[in-house]
Structure 1
Amino acid sequence: MTDPTTAPTAPTAPTVLTVLTTTDTPDKADALARGAVEARVAACAQISGPVTSVYRWEGAVETAREWQVLLKTTESRYPALESWLLAAHDYDTPEIIATPVTRGGAAYLAWVAAETSPGAPA
């Protein structure tokens, strides 16, 4: 008889994140989306917009038209994606927000992990 407290656990899938950023033109949004996927720091990206952003910047309330880029990556690849976005983005302080995916299709989540693997084939 096996002790249930010592039974092996099934391996867990990598944690997938959705990462949101914004930029001020559709061309810049496309460049961020395409560049992150080409660099394998994101498996895919969707671009939405325009959206209206209202925020305080340097003491004044601003309103701007922006495009949102929603990227999919794994928790282990997030630091590389964040570094890539900071280097590629032209904003002084770009929005970079990561949210964990708590549920998803197993095949899709595995695909995200495979596509963002540093050693994945081109």
Structure 2
Amino acid sequence: MKKALLVYTTFPDADIALSVGESLVRDRLIACINVVPGMRSVYAWKGAVERGEEAVAILKTRTDLQDEVQAALKSRHPYETPIILFITPSEADAETLAWIVAETGGTA
């Protein structure tokens, strides 16, 4: 049985996030990307504390595509070291899971 997987990442802006997300949807690696612009961040980077604005992105895919999604996201991401967090929901609505599976080329 296929399981849902959420991928959390950030981008420099919403347009880049949407562009990368659309390419992953077209490649059937993810079913959807949700982009929330305007996040303000404070983070440590190479020994300094930085501030910036980013866009949060949440991608919906399947656990068995994790390695492929990670590789594709890293190759298309503009950050030197993108944040990529995999979140496995404990459960998913059956219709939601069926949609994710169908849109990523899988079978239930």
**TM-score exceeds 0.5:** yes
Partner of 2:59: 71
Secondary structure of the structure 1 residue equivalent to 2:73? helix
Matches within 5 A, 1:90-101: 90-101=78-89
Shift of 1:33: 1.5
Contact (CA 8 Å) 2:13, 2:37: kept in 1 or not? no
Q: Alpha-carbon deviations, 1:65-113, whole Å to 9, x = none?
A: 0001110010101111111101000100001101001122101101101
Matches within 5 A, 1:1-122: 13-117=1-105
Q: TM-score, normalised by structure 2?
A: 0.93
Alignment RMSD: 1.4
Task: Give the whole-Å Cα distance in 1 for the aligned partners of 2:106 and 2:23.
Answer: 15
Shift of 1:118: 6.3
Q: Alpha-carbon deviations, 1:3-31, whole Å to 9, x = none?
A: xxxxxxxxxx3111110111112210111
Task: Give the whole-Å Cα distance in 1 for the aligned partners of 2:102 and 2:70.
Answer: 19
Moved beyond 4 Å, runs of 4+:
none
Q: TM-score, normalised by structure 1?
A: 0.82
Identity among equivalent positions (%) equals: 33
Task: Give the whole-Å Cα distance in 2 for the aligned partners of 1:21 and 1:104.
Answer: 21
Gapped regions of structure 1 (runs ≥ 5): 1-12
Gapped regions of structure 2 (runs ≥ 5): none
Larger radius of gyration: 1
Secondary structure of the structure 2 residue equivalent to 1:27? helix
